[in-house]
Amino acid sequence: MLGWQDTRPLTTATTPDRAKSLADKPGLSTLQDVLLTFPTRYARLGTSDQLDMLVPGEMYTCVAQILGVEQKENFSGRGPRTFIRFRFTDGSVQMESALFGNPKMHLGVIQPGAILLLHGKLDTFRNQWQLKNPSYATIDPGLSARFGAYGSLKTIVTIAGSQEAAQELLRMPYLPGYPRKRGTSTAELIGVVDQILRGPLAPTPGGETIPEMLPDPTAPGTSGDVVGGEASDSVPAWPTGVDGAPLIRFDAALRGIHQPPEEGPGAAIERLKFNEALELQLIMALRAADATRRTSPRVDALHSELLAAFIHSLPYRLSEGQKSAWDRVAEALDSSEPANLMLQGDVGSGKTLIAALAMVAAADAGLQCAFIAPTEVLAVQHAQTLTRLVEGLPITITVLTGSQSSDVRHRSLLDIISGQAHIVVGTHALIQDSVEFFNLGLVVVDEQHRFGVRQRDYLKNKAAAGKTPHMLVMTATPIPRSVAMTMFGDLEPIFLPGLPSGRGEVRTAVVQAGRRAWVDRMWQRISEDVAAGHQAFVVVPRIEGEDGVLAWAEKLASGPLAHCTVDVLHGKMAPEEKAAAMAGFAEGRTDVLVATTVIEVGVDVPNATVMVIIDAENFGVSQLHQLRGRIGRGSADGWCMLHTTALPGSASYDRLESVAATTDGFALAELDLEQRTEGDILGDDQSGAGSRRARLLNLASDGEIIMRAKDYARELVEKQEELARRLVADIELEDQEYIQRG
């Protein structure tokens, strides 16, 4: 974390058998692996472990005081079974539990007044919380009980080595609860962490055993305040927390999150969150610093006659929002420093036109442009849109996709390398080694979250030697401020507000599947719009099965939409089949297109006015907003209907109603962020790097910490760039790409 590593094997702290067990099951083989496995909760007498948020079946850990105990018998076909039933409180609620087995053993430990650590599975019986067959370990036996440990919590005694050592460990003000990782337990991790912090990393009278990686501006030296021989003003001031107080040091934070002091783990968590945020921000700040050392060809859009002719040829005027956004883009392009811009506009706001303005200006400057889209359907549609826009201008547009025949691909590659192609529109095929540009000066990335840093850099490296193309990435997915700071700190944000004039209003309704009249009216609405000359989308979350695209298309074509022309579009179709289906819909030959989320981004059919999203509860908030953006792109009003099996009052139904209540993409993005986990925020394909990098940071609630980390990172890169690079040197390129994809 942030330059700190301790790769000593666990055998330096615990027994070989314990070390092997941890390495085999959850993959914890070093001191660092264990210490960077952070608790997710804490137990303390007098505080419930978020009981109101738990559900039956979940594991629950608490510090409990025994209120009463009795021995009982249960008669069954196998004869009487003796067990004990006891009542306890965690300080805020009362529960019951039962233990079978040897009642004398349990009765000697579980007595009124004893304080125990309990761990078991929650259940309910007659509206009363119960803890099923819990493990226990004595913290304070009270007046009449003895020390004891049972079940998984017996591990603490085994690792501690003695009853006295175990009790000392269990009497910590806060007992941590760890995530369940493939066979390990909270008890095992409490014990092994203690072995590490008392053994290899035991505190020393003379200083810290866990080194501080951030420079200390007040460290004493031989000539005044220095850090590593440099004056203290050559490093940033020590970072402060949200309350303005200095953050605690890393040694105290790493100890404090596992073994919190009486005042709790808050200070430790805040410092470690800052570390996580700073890692992300340093990557962005270093990328931005690298960009300033490169040179790009200048694009003088202000004096481009070809651009003036293009704007004059448009059948409409630019909106005020488009003018403002274009002015920002044009200013950035007219520089020898590479522009790294993120154009952020809601669905249908006119981002493609801004990109077209930039590409026409670049083409007039003698530069080639690469426009990369995430899917072939979208790439072909962008090429068609751009071809219509530049009709009559001396600009050649070439398409390059993976499904092209060898002859077509060969001609496209020749046009690109010879410079005959001014604008090249394609998919991931553009980043292949076989693609060489004559004079690449501008890269446009549509739906940037679909591409990684490495893919963007491949395109950048296709420019002429010594030059770096300008970069314009576009997204219709509104990005909350905290996410933009964290994930796209190296990109200059440009916001494109509003929608072009003349657009129809899109309204949204939630249609509960069990309300037959509502469902009938939903299909009737499609019929009415088709009869009026419009078209409709029906979006289905899966391709196959009884609720898949093919089944729904057949059901609708033979049922409520029998009078309509129905076609299908999904990701498993051959490229030529997709193109034919999309062309049939775009040209008006198809009334209703039943599709998967392949239509989520970029599909532009102004005549489409109705969308039905089947099983809408299966889609995320932002995804629903993206899908809804496919309708209402013309002058006619539209309806989006969210068909759902979720029941009114459920969390899923409430989420759909939130989508229906607003078309404000940024408000929905904030809602989406609140409902995601940290891992989800960092990307959809969570594995490895992302989940390792943000264990504590919550992008929905830690915006202030992220902002402070951003300011600190910028200053550290300015003053101590090599130190900044060392702090993130352990983050591999794949990890940095993963973080950027977010």
Confidence of residue 223 (pLDDT cuts 50, 70, 90): very low
Q: Which two tokens stand for residue 489?
A: 């700190």
Say which range, 330-334, 348-352, 442-446, has the weakest mean pLDDT: 348-352
pLDDT at position 175, please?
A: 86
For 506-666, CATH gives: 3.40.50.300
CA–CA separation, 146 vs 405, rounded Å?
81
CA–CA separation, 600 vs 624, rounded Å?
9
Average of per-residue pLDDT across 146-160 = 88
CA–CA separation, 582 vs 385, rounded Å?
14
Of 399, 397, 395, the closest CA to residue 373 belongs to 399
Report yes or no: 612 and 641 within 8 Å, Cβ to Cβ: yes
Task: Give the range with max mean pLDDT: 560-569, 664-673, 701-710.
Answer: 560-569
pLDDT, tens digit, 9 for 90 and up, residues 38-73: 998 888 765 555 555 567 787 788 888 999 999 988
Distances (CA, A) of 404 to 210, 326, 413, 426, 451: 57, 34, 11, 11, 21
13-16: long-range pairs with CB below 8 Å, 24+: 13/192, 13/195, 13/196, 13/199, 13/200, 14/159, 14/192, 14/195, 14/196
- Is the pLDDT at 618 greater than 80? The verdict is yes
Average of per-residue pLDDT across 339-349 = 84
Confidence of residue 82 (pLDDT cuts 50, 70, 90): confident
Q: What percent of the chain has pLDDT over 90?
A: 50
Mean pLDDT of the chain: 85
pLDDT, tens digit, 9 for 90 and up, residues 167-197: 888 888 888 888 877 677 888 899 999 999 9
Of 351, 385, 357, the closest CA to residue 369 belongs to 357
pLDDT at position 466, please?
A: 75
Report yes or no: 430 and 442 within 8 Å, Cβ to Cβ: no
563: CB partners within 8 A, 6+ apart: 527, 530
pLDDT at position 669, please?
A: 75
64: exposed, middle or buried (Cβ count in 10 Å: 0-12, 13-18, 19+): buried
Average of per-residue pLDDT across 193-204 = 92
Beta bridge partners of 535: 608
Q: Which two tokens stand for residue 473?
A: 């990435």
For 305-495, CATH gives: 3.40.50.300
What are phi and psi for residue 180, nearest 5 degrees?
-80, 115
Q: What percent of the chain has pLDDT over 70?
A: 87
- CATH 2.40.50.140 boundaries in the chain: 41-177
- Is the pLDDT at 293 greater than 60? The verdict is yes
Confidence of residue 396 (pLDDT cuts 50, 70, 90): very high
pLDDT at position 639, please?
A: 96
pLDDT at position 279, please?
A: 92
- Is the pLDDT at 612 greater than 90? The verdict is yes
Whole-prediction pTM = 0.71
CA–CA separation, 713 vs 214, rounded Å?
11
- CATH 3.40.50.300 boundaries in the chain: 305-495, 506-666
Of 595, 603, 631, 609, the closest CA to residue 534 belongs to 609
- Is the pLDDT at 683 greater than 70? The verdict is no
Average of per-residue pLDDT across 447-463 = 68
Count of other CB atoms within 10 angstroms of residue 308: 15
For 41-177, CATH gives: 2.40.50.140
